[in-house]
Structure 1
Amino acid sequence: MAKKKLTQAEMPVADHAFYGLVWAGTVLTERVDRALTKAHDLPVSWFEVMLWLASSPDPVPASVLGNSTMLSRSQVSRVVDALQGRGLVTRTPSPRDARSIEVALTPEGHQLFEEADATRRACLAPVFTDLLDDTDLAALSTVWHKLKANKDAQ
C-alpha cells in the first residue's frame, strides 16, 4: 500500500509555520550565497559580518560580532581573518579594553559591501520583497523580534 503524503491542510498550523520558516531560511540563504559567491567571491557568512560592520558607525568589538551574527565565535574569527586577508576589514586594539579587538570595514570593504548588498537585494526581489507587501514584511519583522527576544528560553 502506497504511503500518503501529508498535505498542508492536514498539518497543524504551528508545524506548517515552523516548516515554512526553515524552508524559507534555507532556500533564500542558499540563493543569496550562490549569487554573492558568483558575483563577488563573497560567501553569505562573510556578507553577514560585513552587514553588521556596515550598520555600525564605529568599529565593532569582535565579541559583539560573535553575539550578533548567526555564526559561532570561532566562525566569526575565521571570517574576519579572511576579510582582513582580502583588505576588506581592519582589526585594531580597543581603546576601552586592551584585551579586546575592534573590527571595521576598510574603504574597499565598504565599496564591496555596497556592491554585494545590491546583488543580494536583486537576488531576493523576485522571490521575497516583490512578493510581500509592507504588512507581510512588518508581520515577519514582528515574528523575528519575538523569536529573538526569547532565544535563550528553556
Structure 2
Amino acid sequence: MAHTNLNLDGLTPRDHAFYGLVWAGTTLTARVDQVLTRRHDLPLSWFEVMLWLSVQQEPVAPSELGARTLLSRSQVSRVADSLRARGLVERVPSPTDARSVGIALTEAGRRAFAEADATRREALAEVFDDRLDDADIAALEAIWAKLKARPENEQQAQAQAKAQD
C-alpha cells in the first residue's frame, strides 16, 4: 500500500476550529487524567467534583453537582460514594430539608485536592505556560465563555436530561 500524505487542507476554518477543540479537549483531558490517576489515584471525574466543592462555602446537593459538572447524575453519585469511601468528602444533612443531603470536602479532601490541583497545573504548564502568552489565555477564556453561553431554554433542557439519567 502506498504512503498517503494525509492533510486537512480542504477543511473550512470552522472545521479546523472544531477539530482543534476536539484535539485540545481529548489531549489535555487524557494528560490530566493520567497524571492525576498515577500520582494521586484520583481520576479526573473525581477531581472535577472536588474542584467544584473546593470553591463552595456550603455543602452542595448532588443534583447541583450534576448540573454544574460534565458528569451525569448517576456518575456524580458514584464519584461521591467513592470519594466518601476514601474520606475525601462527607454527606451533610440539609438544615432545611430532612430528606436532603449536601456533599462537602473533608479536611483530608481539601489537602488531597490542593496536592492534585498542583499536579494538574504542572501537567498543563507545558501547554498553557510554555506555548501561550497572557493574551492567548485571555482570548481562549473569551472564546470558551461565548461557546458555553446558551439560551435559558437549552440550559433547562440539558438539566432535565441529566436528571433523567
User: TM-score scaled by structure 1?
Assistant: 0.91
1:61 aligns with 2:47: no
Q: Secondary structure at the match of 2:96?
A: coil
Aligned length: 153
Aligned CA-pair RMSD: 2.0
Q: Distance in 1 between matches of 2:96 and 2:134?
A: 41
Deviations, residues 54-113 of structure 1 (Å, cap 9, x unaligned)? 011221121110000000000000000000000000011212333322110000000000
Unaligned runs of 5+ in 2: 158-165
Unaligned runs of 5+ in 1: none
Q: Distance in 1 between matches of 2:16 and 2:65?
A: 32
Q: Distance in 1 between matches of 2:127 and 2:139?
A: 17
Q: Distance in 2 between matches of 1:96 and 1:141?
A: 37
2:38 aligns with 38
Matched residues, percent identical? 60
User: TM-score scaled by structure 2?
Assistant: 0.85
One-letter amino acid matched to 2:104: A
Query: For the Cα contact (< 8 Å) 1:93–1:102, is it kept in 2?
Result: yes
Query: For the Cα contact (< 8 Å) 1:60–1:103, is it kept in 2?
Result: yes
2:7 aligns with 6
Q: Distance in 1 between matches of 2:91 and 2:126?
A: 37
Where in structure 2 are the equivalents of 1:5-154 lying within 5 Å? 5-7=6-8, 9-150=9-150, 152=154
